Amino acid sequence: MKNFKSTMLLVISFLLSISFNAQSIDTPEHQYTFNGQVKWMLLTDTGTLLASTGEALIGIKPNSKEVAFKIDRLKKVKEENLEFVPGTPYLIIKPKGMMTHTSVVDLMNGKMVFDSKAENWKNGVTSRHFISPEMKFVVNGMHKEEGLGQYKVGVGLYDMLTGELMRIFERKGSNLMSGMPDIMGDDIVIPGIKNITCYSISSGVVKWTADVKNATRIVTNEDTKEIYAFRTKGSNTVVYKVNANNGNVMWPEGNKLKGVISRINFTNHGLAIVTNILSSGKKGLAGKIGNKLKGSGQSKVYLLDLNNGVDLWEKSPKTKGIISHFYIEDDGILFGVSSGGINKVGFDGTPLWKKPLKTGSGIQIMARVDKGVLYISQSDTDIIDMNTGESVFGKAVKYKNSKAVTSAYDENRDRFLVSCKDGIYEIDGTNGEYGLLTKDTGFEGKENPTSMSVRETGILLSSDQNLTMLDFNGDQKWHTYYKAPGISTFGKVFMAALAVSSMAMASASAYQAGANKVALGSYHSETRRMENYQEGFSNIAAASFKELGKRFKATKATENSAFILTKLSAGVGLVKVDKDSGGKVSEIILKDKKPMYEVDDIEGILYFKSKGNTISAYNLKR
């Protein structure tokens, strides 16, 4: 009976695929030809396709006949030099080396809002920092004075919305900027080798200096007018509080904390800080290197008294690992550990639960739902009561350890769906009853589902080469698989470089945002990163942000289609598959064994390097 059912499913899938009357899309909508070879191309969150050619760094806007911008000055940029500022139209381009030129490009209009070479910074800048939400760019180096032709050490402050230099704060060579500054109102507070200096942005005058050397980070609180300086000392950290009015150091000895700062949160009860104490398990030089690179360890949570800097907790809660989730709630601090475990501590340091909750490692999601807080790890899932720390329904769903775990919420049936190695579990949102909806997703090519969504026609599972639709009872309606043609060496290296860059920028963004109160958000099946960015910067009236906001709000043009790269009869190509039937809608032959391409699923465009110096844009809405 099972074999007959499988055979019928294959027949139905085949009939659906041929009934869709797949067509080949051969003619590109637009083509862009350059004098030099296309080295690499990348679709950015802004919707601008960025590409490097032998003649320039170029930008292509969706559905445009002409190249949007061409920057000759940046003709030799490599992909590993790109740093995107999350949620903004800005791209920072920093070539390798200590003394090199840095540029910032607005990807919406192609305007170079900062160029250290054009701005007369000698040999570029030694450090640069982006400060949000003020949208300011701070650089450190030697600047050429107008009319004198001489270079002087200074810190430059630029407005990213206009690209204009606001002011240069002159510094002595013996007191160079030593870390990341911060802005509070009309003040900019700059850490230096010898001291911390507060300047008036409008006048440029020094308002005060604070006797703290070699601070690596300044964090200000606009609401309470507080200033904190952090200094990394070996593998530990020292925290100082500075009077915002006169620069007096309120904690002159500094509060010495074990580990390196990972999170900073202002609360009404004190300054919440998380540090990571890494341990490679090795001693000597090898151990030190391991600590900095990839050593395991544990986090420590502090709550510092705002008056004297003393840790308010006599005993810090045990973490037994690195904290990966950290939230400030009304009644205390909730945190999850990457190696497994969730705990909640009151602002007085008292545990709010009888004991920490044991969970599997690799907690991927912690989010608020109607019944409590949902967590999903690599080996279990449950909804927990925030008052007791216990399972709302008395039991967790346990499954084989799975690196690929994805989830969705079926609103019409009030159930959570979790895909893992065991198959797909359904969890009743009302009573917590759970069961295995299906054991086999039918994926081929050693792939596991990496995305799951609930559609009107069923439950859709997808990966790079597979698509499977289940009915709401877990029975397979259809399955589509296209064998991968292989990824080029370029593709592997490029993606790895971008992953590292994205991780670095995400970490920097989290550090910056960490100074604000961060509460636990509500669950949603798919990350709405774009919408969150749009909300965060919705008050910025600049044209680039308005245009970016429209894209963040846009409905995906290809939300009913998936695109899979595979080997077709005529060569390597892209197959457009209907998400509700699994049928092939159309295909585009790329005629390249190792194609370089990008898909804009919001606008419905395929960009493909069709020749060495040509990019073709195909309309995927056909």
Indicate if the pLDDT at residue 104 is higher than 70: yes
Indicate if the pLDDT at residue 193 is higher than 70: yes
Q: Residue 282: pLDDT band by 50, 70, 90 thresholds?
A: low
Asked if the structure places residue 210 within a domain, the reply is yes
pLDDT at residue 93, rounded to an integer: 92
DSSP state of 145: P
Asked if the structure places residue 207 within a domain, the reply is yes
Percent of the chain scoring above 70 in pLDDT: 83
Contact 522, 368 (CB under 8 A): yes
d(CA 208, CA 206): 6
Q: Report the Cα–Cα distance between both ends of the chain, in Å, rounded.
A: 40
Indicate if the pLDDT at residue 621 is higher than 90: no
pLDDT tens digits for 391-437?
999 999 999 999 889 999 999 999 999 999 999 999 999 999 999 99
Indicate if the pLDDT at residue 100 is higher than 90: no
Find which of 8-12, 466-470, 488-492, 536-540 is predicted with most confidence, using mean pLDDT: 466-470
Q: Give the count of domains, the chain.
A: 1
pLDDT tens digits for 483-535?
988 644 334 333 333 333 333 333 333 334 344 456 788 887 544 444 555 55
**What CATH number does residue 247 fall under?**
2.40.10.480
Indicate if the pLDDT at residue 238 is higher than 70: yes
Query: The pTM is what?
Result: 0.83
Pairing between β-strand 23-24 and β-strand 82-84 as defined by DSSP bridges = unpaired
pLDDT at residue 219, rounded to an integer: 96
Indicate if the pLDDT at residue 96 is higher than 90: no
pLDDT at residue 3, rounded to an integer: 43
Asked if the structure places residue 202 within a domain, the reply is yes
Asked if the structure places residue 175 within a domain, the reply is yes
pLDDT at residue 552, rounded to an integer: 63
Pick the closest to residue 81 from 91, 102, 95 (CA basis): 95
pLDDT tens digits for 294-339?
447 899 999 999 999 999 998 888 788 999 999 999 999 999 999 9
Asked if the structure places residue 472 within a domain, the reply is no
Asked if the structure places residue 242 within a domain, the reply is yes
Asked if the structure places residue 158 within a domain, the reply is no
pLDDT at residue 488, rounded to an integer: 43
Indicate if the pLDDT at residue 217 is higher than 70: yes
Indicate if the pLDDT at residue 181 is higher than 60: yes
Asked if the structure places residue 312 within a domain, the reply is no
Pick the closest to residue 566 from 466, 481, 446, 483 (CA basis): 483
d(CA 145, CA 215): 28
pLDDT at residue 251, rounded to an integer: 93
AA identity, residue 216: T
pLDDT tens digits for 80-93?
889 999 888 999 99
pLDDT at residue 492, rounded to an integer: 37
pLDDT at residue 493, rounded to an integer: 35
Contact 104, 90 (CB under 8 A): yes
581: CB partners within 8 A, 6+ apart: 16, 20, 478
Structural domain for 190, as ranges: 171-257
Pick the closest to residue 265 from 292, 304, 296 (CA basis): 304
